[in-house]
Copies of this chain bind each other. A is one copy, B any other.
Amino acid sequence: MNEVFLSVLRSIVGVANVLTHEDPGSDLGAWENDWRGLAQGRALAVVRPASTQQVADVVKACGAHGISLVPQGGNTGLVVGSTPDASGRQVVLSLRGMNKVRRFDAANATITVEAGCVLQAVQEACEREGFLFPLSLGAEGSCTIGGNLGTNAGGTQVIRFGNARDLCLGLEVVTADGGVWTDLSGLRKDNTGYDLRNLFIGSEGTLGVITAATLKIFPLPVATLTSFVAAPSVHAAVDLLKLAAARLGPALTGFELMNQQALALVAARYPQQRVPFHEVSPYCVLLEASDHESEAHGRALLEQLMETAFERELVTDAVIAESLAQSRALWHVRESITLAQAEEGAHLKHDISLPISAIPLFVDEIDRVLQQQFAGIRIVNFGHLGDGNLHYNIQAGVTDKDGGELSRVQARITRTVYDSVASFGGTFSAEHGIGSLKLGELQDYKPAAAVRLMRKLKDVLDPGNVLNPGRVLPLG
């Protein structure tokens, strides 16, 4: 039975592009295992199509044989959404081989790329032509555009450019029946029916397989200015955000919050990094401004902003990077928090977002409650304050060497955090998605009316449950 199915797959993509455990010396771990080690899967096969038609034929073959498939890009997701389950019955559909830039259109300010293009490669292709593709996130060196769109990736530039869905003008998608829906013409206005594009974006491969996309690109700014400031409180940071938005308008392209604990971990783990203000300030903000005029102009604006912020006591200290190297060093501090947390040991991640107006009171409350109820834990709070997204993570206490204590209370901590988030109108997954990791939270916190609508959409678009079953929605 399997052999018949595998031979069909081989006839579609070629023998060399169907990998199985039966191959001599095979190791499918790179495709089967979640990169954070949260889940080990076992695949029936890893299939590597080279064209949209091959993807369509593979999907059809899976449907005909009652086999489900898991689309995969760079396998950098954070919610176990793109690796197979442990049954040995699922096919991993790796899109990485489809990595061509199909079209660059400067006058339309668009680029059309295949799903397997690595994000950084797309950024670089645009930059060579004087354009910016603004999606930017930690995994950009290995994540793919297909995955970015499948999960509606966020990152550091959302405050100005929105999430991945906001950067996409069109898709090519293989649907569950093996059909192909294409809309890659790059129109900025097209009101000819329901919004299919946004339905597939963020569906984590459960409604269709994204094979290509037409993306919005922007003229490169002339200068990008980076500042790092000390803020006395989250309240002050939110007021600074409001001031910066009014003064800079769309020139405000980054606004990252980091609490003292987050920066202390970076300073301790990476002593070679210079981490400003962390010893004296409860919070710091990394603020980025982009200028289309000149570096001097952008710097003057930023200095004026800082002057007002000092007067209003929103910041207590500030540096503005004097060079690209300094700017990179400041961003590197921000980007090192995740790694520092991993090196420090056991921790919990909470990828939450709230209305920005609710964040100061939320942080006051949740900090207080957790510190009362779970003495010794370390709160590592950082993230994209500019769009209301915090990574409100909990690191095991310094005396909890092996994380044993944390692991005993982690369910209660997470429940406490999400309950508080919900009470302030926030969400338990801002940019990471649901995958299989957050199905319980979906059940607990997502309104039942929304889940019912989602179920209807899944049932009608993938009645055979061929596409990434059990992800986003639990198995029915």
A interface residues (Cβ-Cβ under 8 A, vs B): 105-110, 130, 151-152, 154, 158, 160, 162-163, 165-166, 175, 179-183, 185-196, 198-199, 201-203, 207, 218-219, 221, 238, 242, 245-251, 290, 292-293, 301, 353-358, 384, 387-389, 425-434, 438, 441-442, 445-447, 449-454, 456-461, 472-473
Most buried by B among A108, A354, A459: A108
Q: If the complex has contacts A105-B355, A249-B221, are A194 and B203 also in contact, measured as CB distance less than 8 A?
A: yes
Alpha-carbon separation in the docked complex, A195 to B450 (Å):
10
Q: If the complex has contacts A196-B454, A249-B292, are A152 and B108 also in contact, measured as CB distance less than 8 A?
A: no
Q: Which residues of B contact A109 (CB under 8 A)?
A: 245, 356
Sample 26 A-B pairs with CB under 8 A, ordered by A number.
A107-B238, A107-B355, A152-B195, A154-B189, A160-B250, A179-B449, A183-B447, A185-B426, A187-B425, A189-B387, A191-B433, A192-B441, A193-B450, A194-B203, A194-B207, A194-B457, A194-B458, A195-B198, A195-B199, A199-B457, A247-B292, A248-B292, A250-B250, A250-B292, A457-B457, A459-B460
Q: Which residues of B contact A192 (CB under 8 A)?
A: 427-429, 433-434, 438, 441-442, 445-446
Q: Which residues of B contact A458 (CB under 8 A)?
A: 194
Q: Which residues of B contact A203 (CB under 8 A)?
A: 194-195
Q: If the complex has contacts A181-B449, A189-B163, A292-B247, are A194 and B454 also in contact, measured as CB distance less than 8 A?
A: yes
How many of these chains are in the complex? 2
Q: Is the CB of B388 within 8 A of A447?
A: no
Residue A249 contacts which of B250, B432, B454 (CB distance < 8 angstroms)? B250
Q: Which residues of B contact A450 (CB under 8 A)?
A: 181, 183, 193, 196
Specify the chain B residue showing the minimal Cβ separation from A79. B191
Q: Which residues of B contact A292 (CB under 8 A)?
A: 246-251
Q: Which residues of B contact A456 (CB under 8 A)?
A: 460-461
Q: Which residues of B contact A246 (CB under 8 A)?
A: 130, 219, 292
Q: Which residues of B contact A187 (CB under 8 A)?
A: 353-355, 388, 425-427, 430
Alpha-carbon separation in the docked complex, A126 to B193 (Å):
30
Name the 8 nearest CB pairs between A and B, nearest first.
A107-B357, A249-B292, A250-B250, A198-B198, A185-B425, A189-B430, A188-B387, A460-B460
Specify the chain B residue showing the minimal Cβ separation from A198. B198
Q: Is the CB of A181 within 8 A of B353?
A: no
Q: Is the CB of B181 within 8 A of A357?
A: no
Residue A357 contacts which of B108, B183, B357, B434 (CB distance < 8 angstroms)? B108
Q: Which residues of B contact A451 (CB under 8 A)?
A: 193
Min CB gap A126→B, angstroms: 14
Q: Is the CB of A199 within 8 A of B202?
A: no
Alpha-carbon separation in the docked complex, A265 to B202 (Å):
47
Most buried by B among A105, A185, A247, A290: A185
